[in-house]
Structure 1
């Protein structure tokens, strides 16, 4: 993976880089797996009669049980004890907000992932992204990083290494590569 280069033109900025064939295949597999996880969450949402009548989509009111999905779809209020009305009110508000907004959040995550997949060169090679595509890439790569980081149990202080015999040791290298990919892209988007 090469650093991203920003090229400003009359139609707006473009972002150029290239990926090796194995990098493109890995990214495609990771993003496709994440899209499947999001689809599973969406398809398991309960039906809502009011949504059928009004056309307003609703989703789950309960957070995901899976830790990876919890990281991708966190509660709206993380510290429930700090809510002025108490923990029960915060939980109720989280359920209502989740039910109303989760379908839109899933759509946005899926759209970003699909834009990445649509602009990812098959077999690797050079790529050039418009600004909207670059933003989609940054979002989708971040979601994949969050998912993989949760699976690796990476906390706020990070994780430098795993013992070589650890079954997820190779995945840490992938996580670090995704971090660099995202960082270079964001710096390129910032013009640095």
Structure 2
């Protein structure tokens, strides 16, 4: 570890425990808040990287499954065949959309030896189910990425600002949305409009 950093951390601990006066302890508390902010930013950056990697992986899987489906000739009538069979057999099935895996399994199981004749239909239906699942996972990952990218600063920054504004905030734990909104409103950039002429 960098000797300067080690010395600085030792000084921080000293200031918190034995510091000369109130100013020293306040400086130590401020430094501690800044370090906590950096740690939160690092965690957020790591989360964003992990989510991006997950989305890339899902995109690759999706492309692979879609290519496989295309090689088989596309969705065609596969779901219609299985859906019609399910209705005739009294197996609960949706009117449209992706077939549930249980319906495809039932179709394959009940056909027994004839299942081989419908192998392509079964494979296409399973691929469509995989595509739907991957799309749902990708949508969820994109939503998590947007939340992780949220530009709301760490709670410690908002807490410090709120205390300086004389607002009543807890020393730790969640901040109320009212406080977060007040912080954002206070720090929202103001744009001045120039008059023409």
TM-score by length of 1: 0.31
More helix by share: 2
Quick check: which has more Rg, 1 or 2?
Answer: 2
TM-score by length of 2: 0.30
- Higher relative contact order, chain-length normalized (CA < 8 Å, sep 6+): 1
More strand by share: 1
